[in-house]
Chains A and B, each alone.
Chain A
Amino acid sequence: MRQTLHIFKKDVRHLWFEIAVAITVVAAFTFTGARRALWLVDPVTNRTAAWTMVLILLPLAWWTLIARVIHDEALTGDRQFWITRPYSWKSLLGAKALFILAFINLPMLIADVVILRAYGLRPLGAELPGLLWSQVLLAIVFVLPIAALSTLTAGFVQLTFAILTPCVIALVVAIVAPEVVLGGFWGGTDWVRTYCLFLAISVAAPAILFWQYSTRRTAAGRVLAVAAAILAVLGMTLIPWSAAFKIQSWLSKQKVEQPVARVDFDSRSKWLTRAVIEGDRVRVELPLNVTALPTGMSAKPEGFSIQLQAPDGTMWHTDQVLPGYASNMGQEFSLQVTVDGAFYRKVKDEPTRVRGSLYLTVFGNRGTTLVPFGDRSVPVPRIGVCAASRGANRQSYFLICSSAFRFPPLLVSYSFIQSAKETSQYAWTSPQPRSISYSPFPAEPGISPISQDFTLATMREAFSEGRVDAVEALAHIRRSFEIDNLRLGDFEVRPALVSP
């Protein structure tokens, strides 16, 4: 420990300027972030440009600090004076970790506390798990990868090259084949893929750090880093969405057993079935019904798998994640499947068997909070704090909710009401709730500790307060359905007939 402190003191003495810059940027982040809490009252405080700049500068300051402190006792090469001195690798690693904790994590922890308090949130109360988890994410996203790369490089130029190379590769691949990099957006379960990456970083980066500090065998360390990067990319690319949904189901807050929530072909609305020819492919639309949900619960389709089987046994199969905008709440749902044209032409006049599964998120536990217009935010259970205001002309209305570290897994709708009449004359400004993550973790990766959602309405009616309705994601379930003897050709339509 004595040696750890001794090296730490040396690093502080050497890197005082970099430390001062990093602390200054954190101070600017704290000040700007806390002032933004007031912007509903005083729009001047919403310095978006300054905030954006701080959010860009902060990681740059951290990365510089991490790289400088690790390169001060560079681990690559054989000419450094310290490698033939009685340094204990554990003390050296400890000193570097202490430095990062002292000048990156601790200031950021304090900054988060100050900003959350400015918003009226309770960082040391209800938000404590998020506060701590955000520190873990800070380490995984911003500290560990750069620290590991710094141990594998001799200086800043090499490090920059090591950071930019994979970025350039990812950019090129994203342009050429975006599906390889992104694999489509998985909506609320997308966090599973993100955490695959985090898991890879959490295992590989400390392994590289320990390896490098204990052995200084850089070639092997670099191989380990490349292998970890490839595995992380493969993991993120190859993990099927259905597996992510399975994980999500396993983490469900509430178990929803059969026969609760059924999915059936809506035979009464069979006429809504369509097979729309789109070039070589065919978009098949199937009306489905989600029934048998307990009172107060609703279901949102997240994705599906479907299998079409011709009488001769030939099959066609697909899994698809539903984009957020295609999802809706309610009992009736039109499933849209893009079917291979060749298969469609083969089976369209045959009685086809359709077997599928619909992946649903069940929402419940509705909660409503009224938010009076005014300067002050009001606490909203499960969300954080919300504030409502109206413009000077009394025709524009604004409602904003702020949460700590992440927006909770809630579907939130905002409205403005006339409380005297107690009617629900509300103004939706967004037809769909925001995209939410079902991640079970209390924080999401990012620098700002505040996650916000808002709505803006311009209405002639005079409203007296805002209202926030939230339903909670309770369970993630899979329900199967079957349709027998469906002759798709009977429902065929040409695009020209659909939209002349």
Chain B
Amino acid sequence: MTDILRTTNLTKRFRKTMALDHLNMIVLEHSVYGLVGPNGAGKTTTIKILMNAWQPTEGMAEVFGRDSRRLSPRDFTQIGYVSENQRMPGWMTVEYFMEYLKAFYPDWDVARARELLRQFELPPDRKIRHLSHGMRMKAALASSLAYRPRLIVLDEPFTGLDALVRDELIEGVLECAEGATILISSHDLSEVESFASHIGYLDHGHLQFSEEMTSLVDRFREIEVTLADPLQSPISWPAAWLNTEQSTAVVRFVDTQFDQERTIAEVHRLFGNAHQISVNPMPLRAIFVTLAKAGRKAA
């Protein structure tokens, strides 16, 4: 698969604040990439630079292999961008908004646009400024899906939406995005874990990890070791083990590079008197909490 988005040492400074610190990220074609991280992690900054709304301080962001600072109108005909805080032309009716945008896209599909309005239950004759936040997001999304973009970029699209609207939007995106690459940012993992194929975790401008969802879930395990005898000396924990806890008879940790044989062997090496080893898969949320707590590179 080729990469649709790529950042190379992407750095953005706002005066003394480092928003992005040499970010290297790749989004592969046809993937659904969830860029997650706490508020202020640098997700929106990354997306703004990718969309040429902001200039990087250092490094480079590429979209379709082109420097994002040189994105042409032609490139934007293949990009659908929706942001939670996008300023929409409130004076336009939904219908006129779609009609107005149609002229900018050679691949605008009128039938699809009509279908999207119907699917999202958007009132065509209502002015955008009179729509609720959720409806506005739907209108933005409908206007970004009607031309079958090759790349869909969604920046915190679900913020402030109720669960029903959120599900409608997700459904809408997935239905219409056949073959498209999706980059979706969110501070809430649960918003993206159900449909993202890849996940990137950004914190303080650093990409803590970026990988396929399945491999991520595979390599994280919560391990509990029951010891036959209490430990006599301090343990030198392997770097891949996080959230280590120990009591006299029990040791708990999260292995970030889990491999059945290797991990068990390592446990036996460190705790020769292991009485019982319990290996538990982790939900994505638990993985993120672990990483956030550890605040260190796990990948």
Contacts and interface: CB of A to CB of B under 8 A. Distances in A.
Most chain B Cβ neighbours within 10 Å, of A2, A72, A85, A88: A85
A86 B105 contact: yes
Nearest to A10: B100
A72 B91 CA distance: 10
B101 A79 contact: no
B87 interface: yes
Interface string B60-103: 00000000000001111101010101111101100000001101
A82 to B, nearest CB: 8
B48 A78 contact: yes
A79 B83 contact: yes
A87 B53 CA distance: 13
A80 interface: yes
A84 B51 contact: yes
Contacts of A338: none
A218 to B, nearest CB: 11
B87 A81 contact: yes
B182 to A, nearest CB: 15
Interface in A1-52: 2-3, 6, 10, 14
B89 A84 contact: no
Interface residues of B, number: 28
* Among B75, B76, B85: residue with most chain A CB under 10 A: B76
A77 B79 CA distance: 20
Interface of B: 48, 51-55, 73-77, 79, 81, 83, 85-89, 91-92, 100-101, 103-105, 140, 153
A317 interface: no
Nearest to A2: B103
Given A83-B53, A86-B74, A87-B104, 9 more contacts: A72-B89, A77-B87, A79-B85, A81-B87, A81-B140, A83-B52, A86-B75, A87-B73, A87-B76
Nearest to B87: A79
B217 to A, nearest CB: 33
Given A78-B48, A78-B53, A78-B54, A85 B101 contact: yes
A86 B73 CA distance: 4
Contacts of A80: 86-87
Interface string A287-319: 000000000000000000000000000000000
B91 A84 contact: no
B35 to A, nearest CB: 17
A10 B91 CA distance: 11
Contacts of B48: 78
A86 B76 contact: yes
Contacts of A255: none
A6 B104 CA distance: 9
A58 B86 CA distance: 35
A117 interface: no
Contacts of B86: 79-81
A10 B73 CA distance: 19
A217 interface: yes
Contact of B76 (A10, A79, A85): A85
Contacts of A83: 51-53
B133 to A, nearest CB: 14
B104 A85 contact: yes
Given A79-B83, A79-B85, A3 B55 contact: no
A86 B140 contact: no
Contacts of A14: 89, 91-92
Contacts of A3: 103-104
A84 B79 contact: yes
B77 A86 contact: yes
B51 A6 contact: no
A80 B86 CA distance: 6
B73 A88 contact: yes
Interface string A410-428: 0000000000000000000
The 8 closest A-B pairs by CB, nearest first: A86-B73, A78-B53, A84-B81, A86-B76, A79-B87, A86-B77, A6-B103, A86-B104
Interface string A62-90: 00000000001000011111011111100
Contacts of B87: 77, 79-81
B55 A217 contact: yes
A199 to B, nearest CB: 31
Contacts of A10: 100
Interface string A246-270: 0000000000000000000000000
Contact of A81 (B52, B79, B89): B89
A99 to B, nearest CB: 16
A217 B54 CA distance: 9
A201 B165 CA distance: 51
A72 B90 CA distance: 11
A73 to B, nearest CB: 9
Nearest to A82: B89
Q: Which has the most chain A C-beta neighbours within 10 Å: B79, B85, B100, B153?
A: B100
A208 B103 CA distance: 28
Interface in A393-414: none
A415 B226 CA distance: 120
Nearest to A15: B91
Contacts of A6: 100, 103-104
Contacts of A87: 73, 76, 104
